[in-house]
Amino acid sequence: DAKRSGRGRSVVYASSLGAASRRMNTVEQALREGLEKRQFELHFQPKVDSQSLQALGVEALMRWEHPVLGSVSPGEFIPAAERCGLIHELGALALQQACLAARELPGLNVAVNVSPLQLMEPGFIDSVERVLVRAGVGPSLLHLEVTESLMLEDAQAALRRLHALRELGVQVALDDFGTGFSSLAYLRAFPFHTLKIDRSFVRSLTEHADARAIVNTIVRMAGVLGMRTVAEGIETERELAVIRAIRCDEVQGYLVARPMPLPKFKDWLAGRPLTGPVDDMDSRVLP
Ligand code: C2E
Ligand code: MG
Ligand code: MG
Ligand code: MG
């Protein structure tokens, strides 16, 4: 009896595993074709000064609209692209599109997420320089967002890469800060320009005093180390109020705006502060 139910479980397990791996195969196959057929497009989400709400920069986020699969989230296709080696092509596309967008967004910096695999590729630094020169964009306008997972494999090699980027004049942000491991050691070893505080902290800010204490400490520590701070995933006015009180430099989140295609983002910029929820915030905080 135990044997039979044991077997039953393993059958269920095997078939759901089968479904998951079939989906993975489907996505990986579709990626290749999607790149050829230009199904990928960057969307842009503003990062604003937490006090004045003035836009300071944008984060470029990749979107994939597949004719049959529909819209596939980066949380699914980025790991798939990393598994099948297409992350380099996809990453190069993101850099190119982001630098072209930077030309159309004077005064704003443009942040691009970079996979550890892409950053550690031998030609990466040269390719960043080439893209910047070709687009005629100053290196300081390009921000690259990396996560702590970068340090997992070979921390020394990763630090050398980050220093090379710094020498090129590109800014580097540590993304999803607080979700990784032993962050403090790396913060001392490499002075990132910016710390992006993960939205899991932001979510608990308004409810829990300990979360407020942690974020407050992160912001003070970043200040001492000369780094800017960005709070990710601000969705409510209460979260914004707490973040302002803590004096985190910048905010990003649905409360300000969702990621949108470049033309829409330009309209959004031009239209501020005329209509919509952001303008209610503007009229409240601006003289
Ligand atoms: P991330 O870099 O931490 O980007 C922030 C994510 O939070 C984005 O999800 C964004 O749409 C979402 N977000 C922004 N504001 C809010 C908010 O107020 N509430 C909530 N719930 N979410 C918010 P998205 O676009 O699905 O991207 C997920 C992740 O995929 C990114 O996390 C990044 O790690 C990765 N990614 C996206 N585009 C690229 C890319 O071009 N290259 C690489 N290597 N990774 C990318
Ligand atoms: Mg990011
Ligand atoms: Mg993040
Ligand atoms: Mg993330």
Please spell the DSSP secondary structure of 153-202, one letter per residue. S-HHHHHHHHHHHHHHT-EEEEEEETSSS-HHHHHHHS--SEEEE-HHHH
- Specify the 3-state DSSP secondary structure of 41: strand
For the chain, the straight-line distance linking the first and the last C-alpha, in angstroms and rounded, comes to 75
Q: Is the pLDDT of residue 278 over 80?
A: no
Q: Check residue 273 and give its pLDDT.
A: 62
* pLDDT value of residue 263: 98
Exposed, middle or buried, 204 (CB in 10 Å: 0-12/13-18/19+)?
middle
pLDDT in tens, 212-239: 999 999 999 999 999 999 999 999 999 9
The dihedral built from the CA positions of residue 180, 185, 190 and 192, taken in this order, carries a sign that is: positive
Euclidean distance between CA atoms 195 and 193, whole angstroms? 7
Predicted-complex ipTM score: 0.98
pLDDT tops 60 at residue 279: no
* CA of residue 54 relative to chain centroid, distance: 20
9 C-alpha to ligand 1 centroid (Å)? 36
As a whole number, mean pLDDT of residues 105-132 equals 97
CA–CA separation, 46 and 82 (whole Å): 27
Residue 180 has pLDDT above 80, yes or no: no
Q: Which pair of structure tokens corresponds to residue 40?
A: 């990928």
Q: Give the Å distances, CA to CA, from 170 to 162, 163, 200.
A: 9, 10, 27
The CB of 254 under 6 Å from ligand 1? The reply is yes
Read off the pTM: 0.91
Q: Separation of 175 CA from ligand 2 center, angstroms?
A: 5
The residue whose CB lies within 8 Å of the most ligand 1 atoms, and thus the one to mutate among 113, 201, 240, is 113
198 lines ligand 1 (CB under 6 A): no
Q: pLDDT (tens digit, 9 = 90+) per residue, 35-67?
A: 999 999 999 999 999 999 999 999 999 999 999
253 lines ligand 1 (CB under 6 A): yes
